[in-house]
Structure 1
Amino acid sequence: MVNKKYFSIGEVSKLKNITIKALRYYHNIGLLIPAYINPDNGYRYYTINQFIYLDIIKICRHRNVSINEIKALFAKADTNYLKLYLEQKNEEIHNEIKKLEQFNKQIEILKTTIHSSEDELMNKGFNIQTFEERYFLSSPTQGGELNEIKSFDKLDEKLGEFTINTFQYGLIYSCHYDNWEISDVFRLITSDDYKFLKDTSNVSELPKGEYLTVNCTKDTEVETFQLVIEYLKKNSLMCNKVYMFYLVTDVFNQYNHFSQFQVSLKSTP
């Protein structure tokens, strides 16, 4: 054996950042057999040409490719097949990266929604706030919590998995001949989703402008809504829809959640 033509198992372990235990395992299962085994002491030695196999094994193992699949890949000993295989894995990686980026975006949106909801709770009584344009998808509903839940389920079916969850949703109160009642459930959607869904029925825009807002709890929801209607009458404000947003604050306490009523006053140019 010519010195340095071969590398000991310890040297390979350090050079390729792989454990000796793993190298022995790969040998025992026939995945990567050392180029030379000393017959006197059983020491394993590898050539530099075998390093590429270790690189392929490490790449595949990081992608959770099974040992049997790697063995089958090596058994083919076909470089063209290897290129196609790596292209497929590369595409899978890019698809996973997109999913992770989407998931990360959802996390950021949820965090932002919780923080903004907590900030909204700091506002007491009636307030005038300015909002940018917002977009939402709505679905008709009837009064009653069970009906609202069923309507939200139908709404989510329409939205599908391609839309980004904004975690902002609520109820629409509509006025018909001075009679107010819950008419729809809604979920806010992003501007990108709005462009894609704008020709879909029940997709609408909340215009940029000033909104009358007031917060309430589940227990004071009916009472607060009546105060909103009285405020509108007292100030001669005309509208036929009131939006109630569920505030995402104490996520794990749904028995007495917080909400915010919003009424569009006047759009800004």
Structure 2
Amino acid sequence: MDNKRYFSIGEVSRLKNVTIKALRYYHDIGLLIPAYTNPDNGYRYYTMNQFIDLDIIKICKQSNVGVKEIKALFAKADTDYLKLYLEQKNEEIHKKIKKLEELNKRIEILKAAIHSSENELMNNGFKIQTFEKRYFLSLPTQGGELNEIKSFDKLDEKLGEFSINTFQYGLIYSCHYDHWEISDVFRLITSDDYRLLKDTSNVSEMPKGEYLTINCTRDAEMETFQSVKEYLEKNSLKCNKVYMFYLVADVFNQYNHFSQFQISLKPTP
């Protein structure tokens, strides 16, 4: 052994946070060969110059690069190629980070929707609530569950990759000559998506202000909507649209769901 500073396999393991088993494996496959191996006892020793090689191996492994590809990279032994390779991996990682951030945002939005829905279900009867300005995309539909499902599919297709799912969606009841019927499906969209889609047809605003709300189960939707109409008549309130939101609560109950009717108390122009 010459006068260079050598590090035992145990020291390298501690200094570079890599297992001894991995270092032995890298040696066996010819990926990282120790600078010196004692012929008497087989002990492996590494120099500090090899630490950068180990750093590159670790970065590649953490980027899910296979051993064969790493070996080919070392066999090429071209620093310019390595720079381009690392730049490509850096770009791939940024894309993954962006996707993970979007996934995390969707998870947070879903958690918030469930929490909000559960809070709403604590309210009984009619209640007046104040909402901030909201935005939504809607599409016409015909009555009947199958038609509504098809319309929601078209709606989500129209939104495509622009929209981060807000998990707030429902039906619009419209009044024509004192006759009420389900006219549209809708999904709330974020303010960022609204800026991207505002010139698209069927994108609208729900104004900030007070809304009359009432909750119900799926089985009681028609009965509750009748109560809504009676309430409007009794209190001389005029409107031509009623929004029915599906509440994200008890989501695994396939036989029933909770909904909330919302009616803007802003005077109809």
2:151 corresponding residue in structure 1: 151
Three-state SS of the structure 2 residue aligned to 1:243 is strand
2:230 corresponding residue in structure 1: 230
Three-state SS of the structure 2 residue aligned to 1:260 is strand
Q: How does 1:125-204 map to 2 (within 5 A)?
A: 125-204=125-204
1:217 corresponding residue in structure 2: 217
* 1:64 maps to amino acid: N
How far apart, in 1, do the equivalents of 2:4 and 2:92 lie?
A: 39
1:16 corresponding residue in structure 2: 16
Three-state SS of the structure 2 residue aligned to 1:204 is strand
* 2:158 maps to amino acid: K
Q: How does 1:239-250 map to 2 (within 5 A)?
A: 239-250=239-250
2:114 corresponding residue in structure 1: 114
How far apart, in 2, do the equivalents of 1:15 and 1:220 lie?
A: 67
Three-state SS of the structure 1 residue aligned to 2:89 is helix
* 1:116 maps to amino acid: S
How far apart, in 2, do the equivalents of 1:30 and 1:2 lie?
A: 22
Q: Which runs of 5+ in 1 are unaligned?
A: none
- Give RMSD over aligned pairs: 1.2
**1:5 Cα deviation after fit:** 2.4
* 2:15 maps to amino acid: L
The answer to whether the aligner puts 1:251 opposite 2:254 as a matched pair is no
* 1:55 maps to amino acid: D
TM-score by length of 2: 0.96
1:79 corresponding residue in structure 2: 79
Q: How does 1:96-111 map to 2 (within 5 A)?
A: 96-111=96-111
**1:4 Cα deviation after fit:** 5.5
How far apart, in 2, do the equivalents of 1:219 and 1:189 lie?
A: 28
* 1:180 maps to amino acid: W
Q: Percent identity?
A: 84
Q: How many residue pairs end up in the alignment?
A: 267
Q: Which runs of 5+ in 2 are unaligned?
A: none
1:69 corresponding residue in structure 2: 69
Three-state SS of the structure 2 residue aligned to 1:160 is helix
**1:42 Cα deviation after fit:** 2.0
Three-state SS of the structure 2 residue aligned to 1:219 is helix
